[in-house]
Amino acid sequence: MPDSSPSSSRPPQVGRRTLLGAAAAATAAPVVLGSASRAAAAPAPRKKPRALPGGGDLGPNVLVFDPSTPGIQARLDEVFRQQESAQFGTGRYALLFKPGTYSGLNAQLGFYTSIAGLGLSPDDTTINGDVTVDAGWFNGNATQNFWRSAENLALVPANGTNRWAVAQAAPFRRMHIRGGLNLAPSGYGWASGGYIADSRIDGQIGPYSQQQWYTRDSAIGSWLNGVWNMVFSGVEGAPAQSFPNPPYTTLATTPISREKPFLYLQGSEYRVFLPEKRTNARGVTWGNGTPRGTSLPLTQFYVARPGVSAATLNQALEQGLHLLLTPGIYHLSEPLRINRANTVVLGLGYATLIPDGGVTAVKVADVDGVRLAGFLVDAGPVNSPTLLEIGPRGASRDHSANPTTVQDVFIRIGGAGPGKATTSMVVNSRHTIIDHTWVWRADHGDGVGWETNRADYGVVVNGDDVLATGLFVEHFNKYDVQWFGQRGRTIFFQNEKAYDAPNQAAIQNGSTKGYAAYRVGDAVTSHEGWGLGSYCYYNVDPTIVQHHGFAAPVRPDVRFHNLLVVSLGGQGQYECVINDTGSPTSGTSTVPSTVVSYP
């Protein structure tokens, strides 16, 4: 078996880890008091805009196949050639397979490419073949295999094991692998973590060189090994709790979960299925008849195409339509305002929202049951105070029966060009579920520099009773996560501190060396986290010292389980793990310092 630890050598000039954000009311016409004859004429009534239609064609970048479609492999290969190394390109694709059986396919997925079946169950759409992610484009290094996804398919891998060598923002949902799953690239090069949910893998999952991973509400045959941080909640067949050796954090159930909405076909009609909420969830939601939930016809969605204005999108929302964002890039001159309970905003093929002029991209009111899923928010060059806002400041309504969910919604500041945002995601609404996000201040690409893509804060949680399952937040200038709400919970957290801090003074936090990756506010009396890791790689000034990865008030109901910090190759160091507890990282040896339970 190959060594499960990352190699100590590093390729030249790797840019990312290498060990491894109604219009104003019309002014009333003036009235002159005491002179009726001179009163201003009433303004002409505003013409009501024509109602927008629901439904429609999914556009040229949604490729729909059925078993009789000729040339499927050639079309898949064509998309892959375009997207394989287009990390910051503009191409966006969704590859959709109608129910049936397909044979002899290998769908290799590049950047901004999603593949999905169109059945109600993964087993409705079977591919005798593979859905492959590898890292040949990057010399066998999988740490930049971002922004791609697989969903709602059954695979019978050609050689018995499917390869899915990904990093952040690459969800694997509602998949049935009739065989094994290899999470490492060919040659077992560096790989830095990912996410599986609502999936059944009949055979063994081999993470090999994957440094961290989160698997939720699934069923697996077995799990092979672990490097630093492997987390499981609600997974049948998961290894037993054993952190830090092996580094397994295992929860029998997930406290609350609600799976991501998905597109499917009912006869010839497209619909969007909305899975129901589960409590103390374990195992997959499918496989025993029709999944539990409701569905909406596509006619209740405004099917958006790139180039549509924010005003039109908001008109659709005000009209009572949901949004289906087809693949492409959308510039927003004003925020998308989601004011209606149970609104669905679903992206296909990594549809990307770019706020212009410093606006917030999406603002959600304090209402029940909003579902945001499957899109990317890319900060614009003018600083946005926030990029995604769940509930207004001071939101306090109880949403426990029907929470808002944020799933596979990813945020990027810089990389594709200069971008700035003071705070990327703010969660004010109670009971919100953040289920898999990657909030990333870019450490490579275009528009990258300590001040060029300035972003002080990643995720700020003000709402009470918020749950995060799969929280990836990296490289912010100050705090990556700040949690001020009561009774918050996080299952799995992955973080790297900003590589590009120019010196110790640039990250000095009063008398504390550096800003914690994950900070719980001083007034919080109840909070809990499982399987949290923070890494440093201060490659501009390797002498920088970070006091700790985690900061929290010392109270009996503020509890953490299975924490770790790592210095990647000695590029910077941690003095402690949480507050003043935990051993310092050890020089140039990339070995975690761990705390099993705190306080």
Q: Which residues are catalytic?
A: 496
Distances (CA, A) of 282 to 187, 347, 532: 34, 27, 21
Question: Would you mind telling me the total number of residues written for the chain in this entry?
Answer: 599
CA angle 509, 511, 516 (to 5 degrees): 40
Distance CA 234, CA 236 (A): 7
Contacts of 472 (CB under 8 A, 6+ apart): 168, 169, 193, 436, 437, 438, 439, 440, 493, 494, 495
Burial (CB count <10 Å: 0-12, 13-18, 19+), residue 77: middle
At residue 312, φ and ψ (nearest 5 deg) are -70, -40
Distance CA 467, CA 481 (A): 13
Distance CA 19, CA 11 (A): 10
The token pair at 194 is 């990912």
Distance CA 177, CA 127 (A): 10
- In order, the DSSP letters of 549-597 are SEE----TTEEEEEEEEEESTTSSEES-SBTTBSPPP-TTS---EEEEE
Q: Is the peptide bond before 244 cis (omega within 30 degrees of 0)?
A: yes
